[in-house]
Amino acid sequence: MNDEELQELQDELSAARAELDRLQGIAADREARAAHLEGELAQVREELSGAREQASAAGGQADELRAQSEALATQVQSSAQRYRELLLQHSPELPGDLITGESVAEIDAALERARETVSKVRGHLESHAQATRVPVGAPVRSAADLSSLSAQEKIQLGLQQKGG
């Protein structure tokens, strides 16, 4: 092996070492970036876990709120029915089938319509009663109409009235 070949091998070795240093620098840079990305990934996973916990808690709260809402709706309907029953007790002149509703407001509206209907019916019945009214007291007395009686019937009637 001569000096020239040796020099050539040393130059190649030197170039290979330079390439190795460059590749080691790139590898170190990529390892640093990978470590940074792994840290960010861990942070994102923690945030995702926290978000899932919050979503789970919110789902539980939503179920609880839904149950409370249904309980309140049932209570409102029950209260409305008790209100309706009290109205019917205090207003027996109103027909119960005219007063319906699922809430107090609906029952109040139905109550007003029922009162208007009862008022109209009363007015109609009173006007009808006025039209067919018979005056108070006995009618004026007048003598019986004897013109249609035969002579024999007239004699019998006269005898009966005299007591005999």
Over the stretch 57-85, which tens digit does the pLDDT of each residue have?
777 788 888 899 999 989 888 888 998 89
- 136 vs 12, residue with greater confidence: 12
Instruction: Give the mean pLDDT of the chain.
Output: 87
Give the residue, 135 or 102, on which the prediction is more confident. Answer: 102
**pLDDT band at 164; cut points 50, 70, 90:** low
Mean pLDDT value of segment 6-16: 90
Percent of all residues in the chain with a pLDDT value above 90, rounded to a whole number: 29
pLDDT of residue 141 exceeding 80? no
% of the chain exceeding 70 in pLDDT: 96
DSSP per-residue codes, the chain: --HHHHHHHHHHHHHHHHHHHHHHHHHHHHHHHHHHHHHHHHHHHHHHHHHHHHHHHHHHHHHHHHHHHHHHHHHHHHHHHHHHHHHHHH-TTS-GGG---SSHHHHHHHHHHHHHHHHHHHHHHHHHHHHTPPPSSPPPP-----TTS-HHHHHHHHHHHHT-
**In this predicted structure, what is the pLDDT of residue 20?**
92
The yes-or-no verdict on residue 14 having pLDDT over 90 is yes
